[in-house]
A and B are shown apart, each in its own frame.
Chain A
């Protein structure tokens, strides 16, 4: 029993498991991008047949990222990460604490980088000079004067903690993501211009409704265009109605509104379900042009007072022609049906006879807002910063050590210098050569 437990622990703490999990996660994500997600099963039936669809349904391949097995993979990765880190902690601690300050001549031979330099400078003067040279590289340089004059410097050992910092950052991000999905929600609001609402339609299965503790009124929804006709900006002018307070706010794409822990985003827009139209009424004979406002399903009299007009139906997209509205026009007691269509202003003039022709000027829209409450987002950002900091420390700080012996020599003094880096050795070789150059120039000596 004990052996089995040990084996399980060994497996959970192995990097082999990490590698397997990373490969599995990468494959799962690939599957999630190549297979269309969250489609009704009938769509898969056409492409993959009965058996394929059953397989997709059983493994939730149509919703990979929310499947239980996918979350199990993420969970396993977190466990593996924690156990791995704990398992390696003593080893890292030893590396971090490891010091060998006093060394003998033989030690230099075993170092990957070492060099002997003879200088003509007298010993005492050389001692001072060499300390000042290396103080810049090693802020905490140690001077040992017995049995020989020696220097010992180390820096960058913090690099050993880089992986731990990155891994704890990942755990913090995952914690934030869990808080987001458990305590947060997101949904949509649709507010027609001039109307007030506090109803949020929650995203996800079940189509639930959430009522905000305050209301929003959409004063106006505006689309700005570039000269070439492409949209430049979508803007909602809103008023927050919170008890007696009324606050005017603007929401644009990329500029959401924060209020009482909720965040509102400009998401979409469309024709209001009971729109009020502004129409140009053109007298066909005289060319006179009037402007009238027609609320939905209410009769409004025509300019000559001898007839009326009423909006009976509204379509945000009528047979791919865009927004269109059905009107009932009564002229000379004869009712006629007609359409005003945003993209075809001449439609009524061309398809109906009568005293007046109608052209659409404007109609009321609704603004579609995305609403979000996300208490986990700050935790995610903190986790991200920890990860980036950990990567910088772990990958770019080089743990390095330097030993130096300064002994008397018939010509003046002899310097024995050795260096070691546990990461990025090629780069460290350049640093080491710089040290040697520095000594040779500083103490003005040949080899």
Chain B
């Protein structure tokens, strides 16, 4: 299967992009920044191509479906969302130093998808419950949200590491700007998480006969929603800023990771398609 090969090359390319961004941080040369950005754009294009190829290859097997149906495919798409959102932020805020903290998320997720023995990369036919157009809307919105939360977690880590002053840390955006960026990625993620939960509810109403059935995945996405709702209220109404907010953002991402992996590995429920194996 060509798509699997291409996607495993993409994994190494993300490692390369990460090293380039690291070089930008260490050597502080504009030249490296341009190279790193173009390398990431190239990797993202190849990544997109890999996903489309997987779609085409599934049709050639006679079981054609959008490549968003199992753990492997969702991981690949997760990494894609992170890289895309990162490039968007880099373009908008023109700061090259964030890449070293965000791109590794894309790399680690791709590496896990491609090389972990727990993750089955074969294209498999859809079970009847997944045969719905809501699959695409639901998965895309959820993973755009997860991607945004991953980016905000990366930014929060920079935030917590950044000392007030210091030669090395001066290259990163000032703390207040980081704080605002964290807020904006979370605002984006929260909106898409909401849309993801709603599309999931519409689909559940069609497939399982109930828009909300307290399935562990549903419940954990609601917990994640509560955590980020808390973030927004603390910030907008209580006026919390900075360190406290960065910590809430990291807690939120832990909750995202549990929604995504913890529920698949530890709890059983209606969302068992995403189980490893």
Contact assessment for A265 and B184 in the assembled complex, using a CB-CB cutoff below 8 Å: no
Which of B2-10, B22-30, B38-46, B231-239 lies at the interface? B231-239
Chain A residues in 8 Å Cβ range of B230: 19, 22-23, 26
**Which chain B residue shows the least CB distance to A383?**
B198
Distance from A85 Cβ to chain B, minimum over Cβ atoms (Å)? 11
CA distance A252 to B188 in the complex (A): 36
A233-B128 in contact given A29-B219, A177-B212 (Cβ < 8 Å): yes
CA distance A365 to B211 in the complex (A): 29
Which of B12-20, B52-60, B151-159, B199-207 lies at the interface? B199-207
Contact assessment for B226 and A253 in the assembled complex, using a CB-CB cutoff below 8 Å: no
Interface set, chain B 26-72, CB cutoff 8 A to A? 62-63
Contact assessment for B205 and A384 in the assembled complex, using a CB-CB cutoff below 8 Å: no
Which of A113-121, A299-307, A351-359, A386-394 lies at the interface? A386-394
Which of B180, B184, B191, B209 touches A267 (beta carbons < 8 Å)?
B209
Contact assessment for A29 and B187 in the assembled complex, using a CB-CB cutoff below 8 Å: no
Which of B93, B129, B216 touches A253 (beta carbons < 8 Å)?
B129
Interface string of A371-411 (1 = CB under 8 A from B): 01000010011001001100110011000000000000000
**Which chain A residue shows the least CB distance to B212?**
A177
Contact assessment for A253 and B211 in the assembled complex, using a CB-CB cutoff below 8 Å: no
CA distance A440 to B124 in the complex (A): 59
**Which chain A residue shows the least CB distance to B228?**
A22
CA distance A112 to B125 in the complex (A): 58
* Interface membership of A206, Cβ < 8 A: no
CA distance A226 to B123 in the complex (A): 13
Contact assessment for A392 and B209 in the assembled complex, using a CB-CB cutoff below 8 Å: no
Chain B residues in 8 Å Cβ range of A263: 209
Chain B residues in 8 Å Cβ range of A252: 128
A15-B187 in contact given A65-B214, A253-B128, A265-B209 (Cβ < 8 Å): no
Distance from B19 Cβ to chain A, minimum over Cβ atoms (Å)? 29
Chain B residues in 8 Å Cβ range of A227: 62
Contact assessment for B128 and A384 in the assembled complex, using a CB-CB cutoff below 8 Å: no
* Interface membership of B257, Cβ < 8 A: no
Contact assessment for A381 and B210 in the assembled complex, using a CB-CB cutoff below 8 Å: no
Contact assessment for A22 and B125 in the assembled complex, using a CB-CB cutoff below 8 Å: no
Distance from A26 Cβ to chain B, minimum over Cβ atoms (Å)? 4
* Interface membership of A1, Cβ < 8 A: no
Which of B194, B209, B222, B233 touches A18 (beta carbons < 8 Å)?
B233
A25-B201 in contact given A177-B212, A254-B206 (Cβ < 8 Å): no
Chain A residues in 8 Å Cβ range of B85: none
Contact assessment for B209 and A26 in the assembled complex, using a CB-CB cutoff below 8 Å: no
Interface string of A225-266 (1 = CB under 8 A from B): 011101111100000000000000000111110000001010
Contact assessment for A22 and B211 in the assembled complex, using a CB-CB cutoff below 8 Å: no
Contact assessment for B205 and A226 in the assembled complex, using a CB-CB cutoff below 8 Å: no
Contact assessment for B226 and A22 in the assembled complex, using a CB-CB cutoff below 8 Å: yes
**Which chain A residue shows the least CB distance to B128?**
A253
The count of chain A contact residues (Cβ–Cβ below 8 Å) is 51
* Interface membership of A426, Cβ < 8 A: yes
CA distance A247 to B219 in the complex (A): 39
Contact assessment for A22 and B233 in the assembled complex, using a CB-CB cutoff below 8 Å: yes
Contact assessment for B226 and A254 in the assembled complex, using a CB-CB cutoff below 8 Å: no
Q: Count the A-B residue pairs with Cβ separation under 8 angstroms: how many?
A: 110
CA distance A81 to B131 in the complex (A): 38
Distance from A224 Cβ to chain B, minimum over Cβ atoms (Å)? 9
Contact assessment for B267 and A33 in the assembled complex, using a CB-CB cutoff below 8 Å: yes
Contact assessment for A395 and B190 in the assembled complex, using a CB-CB cutoff below 8 Å: yes
CA distance A19 to B227 in the complex (A): 9
CA distance A253 to B270 in the complex (A): 14
CA distance A184 to B128 in the complex (A): 27
Distance from A46 Cβ to chain B, minimum over Cβ atoms (Å)? 19
A388-B205 in contact given A226-B63, A228-B125, A253-B129 (Cβ < 8 Å): no
Chain A residues in 8 Å Cβ range of B220: 29, 33
Chain B residues in 8 Å Cβ range of A392: 191
CA distance A392 to B177 in the complex (A): 22
Distance from A91 Cβ to chain B, minimum over Cβ atoms (Å)? 11
Interface string of A330-363 (1 = CB under 8 A from B): 0000000000000000000000000000000000
CA distance A227 to B61 in the complex (A): 10
Interface set, chain A 145-163, CB cutoff 8 A to B? 163
CA distance A213 to B131 in the complex (A): 32
* Interface membership of A276, Cβ < 8 A: no
Which of A26, A226, A230, A425 touches B223 (beta carbons < 8 Å)?
A26
Contact assessment for B132 and A254 in the assembled complex, using a CB-CB cutoff below 8 Å: yes
Distance from B202 Cβ to chain A, minimum over Cβ atoms (Å)? 7
Which of A230, A380, A391, A395 touches B125 (beta carbons < 8 Å)?
A230
Contact assessment for A231 and B198 in the assembled complex, using a CB-CB cutoff below 8 Å: no
Contact assessment for B187 and A395 in the assembled complex, using a CB-CB cutoff below 8 Å: yes
A391-B190 in contact given A22-B230, A233-B128, A256-B209 (Cβ < 8 Å): yes
Distance from A376 Cβ to chain B, minimum over Cβ atoms (Å)? 9
Chain A residues in 8 Å Cβ range of B207: 253-254, 265
- 10 A–B contacts from the bound complex (CB under 8 Å): A22-B233, A29-B220, A29-B223, A29-B226, A33-B267, A230-B127, A253-B128, A263-B209, A372-B210, A427-B92
Pick the 3 closest A-B CB pairs, nearest first. Answer: A253-B128, A395-B187, A265-B209
Beyond the given A16-B238, A231-B127, please list 14 additional residue pairs across the A-B interface where CB-CB is below 8 A. A15-B237, A22-B227, A22-B229, A26-B226, A33-B220, A177-B212, A230-B124, A230-B125, A233-B128, A253-B131, A387-B194, A388-B191, A392-B191, A426-B177
B residues lining the A interface (CB < 8 Å): 62-63, 92-93, 124-125, 127-129, 131-132, 177, 180-181, 184, 187-188, 190-191, 194-195, 198, 201-202, 205-212, 214, 216, 219-220, 222-223, 226-227, 229-230, 233-234, 236-238, 263, 267
